[in-house]
Amino acid sequence: MDPLQFLTTATVAIVAGKGGVGKTTVTAVLARAAIRRGLRVLVIELDGKPTLGRLLPGVEVQQLSATAALAEYLDAHGLSRVTKRLASRGIIDVVATASPGIDDIVVLGKVKQLERSGLYDLLVIDGPAAGHAITFLLAARSLLASVRSGPIHTQASDVADMLADPARCQVVLVSLPETTPVNEAIETAYALEERVGVHLGPVVVNGVDHGPELPSDAADPGSPMRLAADFRNARRLLHRTECDRLAEQLALPQLHLATVAGSRLDADGIERLADAWNLEASP
Amino acid sequence: MTTDDRSLVAHLVGADVLVCCGSGGVGKTTVAAALGLQAAQLGRRAVVVTIDPAKRLADALGVPGGLSNEPVQLQVPGDGELWALMLDTATTFDGLVRANAADPDQAERILANGFYRNVAGSLSGTQEYMAAERLHALHLDPRFDLVIVDTPPTRNALDFLDAPGTIARFIDHPLFKLLMMPTRRGLKVLNVAAQPVLRTIGKVVGGDVLADAVAFFQAFAGMETGFRQRADDVMELLHSDVSKFVLVASPRADTIEEACYFAGRLAEGDLEVAAVVVNRCTPTFGEPPPRRPRGAAAPLYDNLIELRTAAATERQQAAALLEATGVPADVHTSWVPMLSEDVHTLDALEAIRVRLFD
């Protein structure tokens, strides 16, 4: 089966995972792999530092900021005079605090607009960190319960429809092949399925060191070669064990990204990682 | 072990507050705990404040039931003591409200308010502010002479320093002042309802939600001075000579850039970076044999060379980044190699401590 098939099953792919697991890398590789398949791709960065433009030269990348989106929304709903009279950042703080999730809904509302525009086959969203991903995606449900009518209710209802429809939206979880990140991925997956009701795509495990077990006893005990082999074997065993545990506890397909040497990933690195996936995908 | 006055050990002996900052996933909590172990060995009575709800760290520290919002003492070697607690933002905020309220009635009115629960639970910066607040309280607690704080995993570590200011600004908000303006009749609620501004906001966010916000600001009346004073005290402590900052990064460029950015901002504010810790480095294992062996040992040679090359490249790139982006040259940098296992036992934590200090 083609492991990248999921790229064509829903228009919106939200990439989610804890800080430091490599969400941005995975977003870039997914986007690159989708473009290779001829899809029209838009990449969306939320409130982050703009890094995806550098990783994906020639690809359309759009920044969505919760604060800016909420300001725009309030302006459009008759608060423009108010935002001028009061410090605009301040009033946004108050509105966002009075109604938690309203900023998330406004952002997701924009995503929905782009999805409905018909201009793209795939929107890849570099999502918020895992803990926040749940509140981010729960915003629609929470607001539907607390705001019974008005424009925010309509918006939340449209967003909830999009999130619940596996043909329109899926979440791609990112993890590392280590104990704590795997535990967190499992918890996040259950929370997203049960509480948000969003469809989960494959889990991407980032930085996996695949490779055979090295015959460490071919070197003298205590020698550099022996110590290095023992270390590598232990890491590979840990990676294998954790990927297996993830597979046992989450019935989702896994995609692996290899460890990349060096401290900074660049556009070429993204191309190489996407190559590896396309290779796996070819018969 | 070096003992010049800029080394990490000197700071563990001399400082009252150590703040660990860095991006998510670099092992900040582990480093904070390892610093605590070392401090206890140096005879200090240290308390580690962690934000990370990872129960495994609690296990590693020998706390079977996990950590709570109150400090618990841990069984560790050394003449000193090590305590740990896990910050509960909402409980800490509630305590602050009770401490500043004019009477229990005012406190209860605020604590029961829906808008307040949102402020305590989700206003951005609240968690950071409560961490700073807790740090201040522990600093004054006679049981401890060193407070080590593991800052919340924010995208931008600077939020921690800005947080007390953010909350003060929120309390000073024009909307708050608007609500508090005395009216001719002295009936604030009528005044509020008459505000066209609020009617418009109410249409967007819903009337009930707005009513809660109005009630919160009204209940809060009189407390803002105490809160602002408290925020000022916290800022003063963070800016004083007894507080030092430890920047934690991994060899990944983005985490180092984050640390460097933070270092630059600290320097602007005349705050001192005590040390940089680059955690999770590729380990090295000594010199390879002069020639690649034949047979079964050949892949072992290749593996050793591969790790050496990776470690050298990583180290060189990370050092260049640190130098190029604003960490003062005389700041001590510790390079901590990755262990072959995850850190969730006291032994593994001890191994990190040894690599950090020996």
Tell whether the model's pLDDT for residue A86 goes beyond 60. Answer: no
Distances (CA, A) of A208 to A230, A238, B146, B185, B277: 17, 10, 39, 70, 24
Chain A stretch 212-271, residues whose beta carbon is closer than 8 A to a beta carbon of chain B: 214-216, 218-219, 223-232, 234-235, 238, 261-264
Facing A129 at nearest CB: one of B24, B286, B341: B24
CATH number, domain with residue A265:
3.40.50.300
Distance in angstroms (rounded) separating the CA atoms of residues B55 and A125 = 30
Nearest chain B residue to A149 by CA: give it. B206
pLDDT tens track for A141-159: 877 877 777 778 888 899 9
- Asked whether residue A1 is domain-assigned, the answer is no
Under CATH, which number does the domain B8-101+121-169+241-283+303-357 receive? 3.40.50.300
pLDDT at B3: 47
- Asked whether residue A2 is domain-assigned, the answer is no
> B334 forms bridges with which residues in the sheet?
B277
Q: What's the mean pLDDT when you consider all of chain A? A: 86
Residue B290, chain A, CB below 8 Å: the answer is no
Q: Where are the domains of chain B?
A: 8-101+121-169+241-283+303-357
- Asked whether residue A134 is domain-assigned, the answer is yes
Least confident span in A77-81, A102-106, B130-134, B211-215: A77-81
pTM of the model: 0.86
A118 φ/ψ sector (left φ>0, alpha ψ -120 to 50, else beta): left
Distance in angstroms (rounded) separating the CA atoms of residues B194 and A269 = 60
Residue B189, chain A, CB below 8 Å: the answer is no
Per the CB < 8 A criterion, the answer to whether B179 and B214 are in contact is yes
Greater confidence, B81 or B161?
B81
Distance in angstroms (rounded) separating the CA atoms of residues A266 and A134 = 30
- Asked whether residue A66 is domain-assigned, the answer is yes
Model confidence band, residue A229 (pLDDT cutoffs 50, 70, 90): very high
- Asked whether residue A23 is domain-assigned, the answer is yes
pLDDT at A176: 93
pLDDT at A197: 87
HSE-up (13 A, CA, CB side) for residue B315: 15
Per the CB < 8 A criterion, the answer to whether B120 and B94 are in contact is yes
- Residue A84 is part of which domain span? 8-281
- Asked whether residue A213 is domain-assigned, the answer is yes
Distances (CA, A) of A79 to A7, A65, A98, A256, B177: 40, 19, 16, 47, 19
CA distance B302 to chain A (A): 9
Share of chain A above pLDDT 70, in %: 89
pLDDT tens track for A156-210: 899 999 999 999 999 999 999 998 889 889 999 998 988 888 999 999 999 999 8
Judging contacts by C-beta atoms under 8 Å, the chain B residues touching residue A47 are: 155
Residue A276, chain B, CB below 8 Å: the answer is no
Greater confidence, B143 or B91?
B143
Model confidence band, residue B327 (pLDDT cutoffs 50, 70, 90): confident
- Asked whether residue A110 is domain-assigned, the answer is yes
pLDDT at B222: 76
Mean local confidence (pLDDT), A238-264: 90
> A172 forms bridges with which residues in the sheet?
A15
Q: How many domains does chain A have?
A: 1
Distances (CA, A) of B51 to B69, B79, B132, B154, B277: 10, 26, 12, 11, 19
- Asked whether residue A85 is domain-assigned, the answer is yes
pLDDT tens track for B55-67: 666 766 767 677 8
Share of chain A above pLDDT 90, in %: 54
Cα angle A16, A18, A24; round to 5:
55
Sequence-distant (6+) residues with CB within 8 A of A173 are A16, A17, A185, A188, A189, A192, A200, A203, A204, A252
Q: Give this complex's ipTM.
A: 0.84
- The DSSP code for B287 is P
Test mutation, A179, A225, A239, chain B, max B CBs within 10 A? A225
Per the CB < 8 A criterion, the answer to whether A214 and B340 are in contact is no
Highest mean pLDDT pick, B25-29, B226-230, B246-250: B246-250
Per the CB < 8 A criterion, the answer to whether B339 and B351 are in contact is yes
Tell whether the model's pLDDT for residue B176 goes beyond 60. Answer: no
CA distance A215 to chain B (A): 7
CB < 8 Å & 24+ apart, contacts of B10-13: B11/B244, B11/B246, B11/B274, B11/B275, B12/B38, B12/B39, B12/B42, B12/B44, B12/B146, B13/B42, B13/B44
Distance in angstroms (rounded) separating the CA atoms of residues B147 and B139 = 6
Chain A stretch 104-133, residues whose beta carbon is closer than 8 A to a beta carbon of chain B: 129
SS (H, E, C) B224-243: HHHHHHHHHHHHHHHHCCCE
Amino acid at residue number A110? K
Q: Helices B253-268 and B298-324 meet at what angle, rounded to 10?
A: 30
